[in-house]
Structure 1
Amino acid sequence: MESTEAARTAAALAELSCTDVSDALDRLGLTGQCLGIRPLDRSFRLLGQAWTLRYGPVGTDPGTVGDYIDDLGPGQVVVLDNQGRLDVTVWGDLLTAAAARAGIAGTVIDGVCRDVDRSITLGYPIFARGNWMRTGKDRVRVEATGEPVCVGGVRVEPGDWLLGDGDGVVVIPAAKAGEVVAAAREIHDAEERIRAAVEAGATLRAAREQFGYHRLQTRHRPS
């Protein structure tokens, strides 16, 4: 049952953009837009459910950046919370190669990565704050896995849905996925009708009025 529902959600989200979902989140009063998290390549698209890991600075022992990748599989998104640090990376060439081979859906980092050429060559989607070459080894350590993390100011829980494209990354709470998809579809369809009307000769003002554009993203409150 769960796998069937997940497959339906994945199929529905695959037809939507981050902007569709962002507007739906606004309508539902949810925060899911990850500030400052961007694709290494604008052609990258990411869709899957979160597997989470949180890093912290090392203490008296060197800690570890984690040998977790072999335990993940298709449909999962690696979500790494490195507290937005730009001075050390937590993802590089070897992780990219292993993740791509395993069919993992992609990686989202609140921080930076390195070895970007490998990601682009393999077409493996990475969304991060940027890239830099300095390793996180002996500088950060794994604090927790499988727990809620923060990415771009957004709480991400294991199993939440992540959608990424050229505009960035959005997080859809697993428990609200159905509502978000329904709202995003309505918004997407309305904007397609507005676009078609404009291309047919209507003014943008008239098309927006006809299809209720100015109410699409407005938060819906219980009556």
Structure 2
Amino acid sequence: MTYTTEPISEQTRQRLMKVGTANIANALLRRGFRNAYLLGVQPLAPEQGQLVGPAFTLRFIPSREDLDSMANYSRDDNLHRVAIEQCPAGAVLLIDAFGNTRAAAMGDMMAARLKMRGVAGVVTDGGYRDAPAIRATGLPCFQQRSAPPATPLALHPVALNEPVGCAGVAIYPGDVIVGDGEGVVAIPRHLADEIAIDALDAVEYEEFAAQHIARGRSILGLFPATMESRAEYDTWVAAGRPPLEKI
């Protein structure tokens, strides 16, 4: 099967930059997708920006003493290092570390190189070393927890741009990864455009509902949206979103 890490449309990317991962998870749930959130994966820095991009995958298995050493790690054909040079600009390097935090899935030099190459960010269910220096690069990164020991101690790279399981979620190359202050969610590539529309619509409705709640309105009949509150919202949007009067 052929997978693509071609960029998503700019319109879809801009929509996804405005929505929360929770909104996306809800939109996926309405389509029957219950296992899309990478539970346990957290932003490396609370202040880092929104992450959006197609997945370029790297898969690790446990290391073995006769294959994994610092000498072998430094070879130009080491897939961990090759991934840093092959991950396309605008893509998300998605590292399946099978939840192992005994060794680093990435360090600061790799993060700096990815930032320079225009990669959107990195996600792993493992952990990174040199976390303060990675934060300083400004590259949005997500991990389970810090993992300072050297990579060959526990991780062996075996595959690039193949389907992986990261934090218990099936991710295929090109699936759209979105990360925010709460965590990371994966959108099947063929659903990205419609999920972006639905999630943004949910965010905009929530802004409407929040204004009403701030003015004392009950959430009953307001959130989640009902047919009646949705019609009220549509009227408000058509009127140009004017300030709400106190209820």
TM-score > 0.5 by shorter chain = yes
Task: In structure 2, give the amino acid aligned to 1:12.
Answer: R
**2:9 counterpart SS class:** helix
After TM superposition, the structure 1 = structure 2 runs for residues 169-180 of structure 1, keeping only pairs within 5 Å, are: 169-180=184-195
**C-alpha contact 2:115 2:139 (8 A) present in aligned 1:** yes
Q: Following TM superposition, by how much is the alpha carbon of 1:195 offset from its aligned partner in structure 2, in angstroms?
A: 0.7
When normalised by structure 1's length, the TM-score is: 0.87
Task: Give the aligned partner of residue 41 of structure 1.
Answer: 45
Task: Give the aligned partner of residue 63 of structure 2.
Answer: 58
**C-alpha contact 1:163 1:171 (8 A) present in aligned 2:** yes
After TM superposition, the structure 1 = structure 2 runs for residues 65-84 of structure 1, keeping only pairs within 5 Å, are: 66-68=80-82, 69-84=84-99
**C-alpha contact 1:50 1:162 (8 A) present in aligned 2:** yes
Which whole-Å CA distance do the structure 2 matches of 1:7 and 1:186 have between them?
17
**C-alpha contact 2:103 2:153 (8 A) present in aligned 1:** no
Q: Following TM superposition, by how much is the alpha carbon of 1:141 offset from its aligned partner in structure 2, in angstroms?
A: 1.5
**1:53 counterpart SS class:** strand
The structure richer in strand per residue is 1
% identity of equivalent residues: 28
For the aligned residue pairs, the C-alpha RMSD in angstroms reads 2.2
**C-alpha contact 1:23 1:187 (8 A) present in aligned 2:** no
Task: Give the aligned partner of residue 155 of structure 2.
Answer: 140
Task: In structure 2, give the amino acid aligned to 1:43.
Answer: E
Q: Following TM superposition, by how much is the alpha carbon of 1:194 offset from its aligned partner in structure 2, in angstroms?
A: 1.0
Task: Give the aligned partner of residue 220 of structure 1.
Answer: none
Task: Give the aligned partner of residue 104 of structure 1.
Answer: 119
**C-alpha contact 1:88 1:134 (8 A) present in aligned 2:** yes
1:128 aligns to 2:143 (yes or no): yes
More displaced, 62-71 or 122-131? 62-71
Task: Give the aligned partner of residue 29 of structure 1.
Answer: 32
**1:182 counterpart SS class:** helix
Report the CA distance shift for 1:84/1:3 in structure 2 as closer, same or farther (over 3 A). Answer: closer
Q: Following TM superposition, by how much is the alpha carbon of 1:4 offset from its aligned partner in structure 2, in angstroms?
A: 8.1
Q: How many residues align?
A: 212
Task: In structure 2, give the amino acid aligned to 1:193.
Answer: F
After TM superposition, the structure 1 = structure 2 runs for residues 68-217 of structure 1, keeping only pairs within 5 Å, are: 68=82, 69-137=84-152, 139-208=154-223, 211-212=225-226
Which whole-Å CA distance do the structure 1 matches of 2:119 and 2:6 have between them?
17
Gaps of 5+ in 2: 231-247
1:6 aligns to 2:9 (yes or no): yes
**C-alpha contact 1:114 1:132 (8 A) present in aligned 2:** yes
Larger Rg: 2
Which whole-Å CA distance do the structure 2 matches of 1:91 and 1:3 have between them?
24
**C-alpha contact 2:39 2:167 (8 A) present in aligned 1:** yes
The one-character-per-residue Cα deviations of 1:129-168 (angstroms, maximum 9, x if unpaired) are 0102101125322111110111111111111111101110
**C-alpha contact 1:52 1:78 (8 A) present in aligned 2:** yes
Which whole-Å CA distance do the structure 2 matches of 1:119 and 1:212 have between them?
45
Gaps of 5+ in 1: 217-223
The one-character-per-residue Cα deviations of 1:52-72 (angstroms, maximum 9, x if unpaired) are 010112333226462221223
Aligned counterpart in structure 1 of residue 21 of structure 2, from 18, 21, 24: 18
Task: In structure 1, give the amino acid aligned to 2:181.
Answer: G
Structure 1 residue runs of 4 or more that deviate by more than 6 Å after TM superposition: none
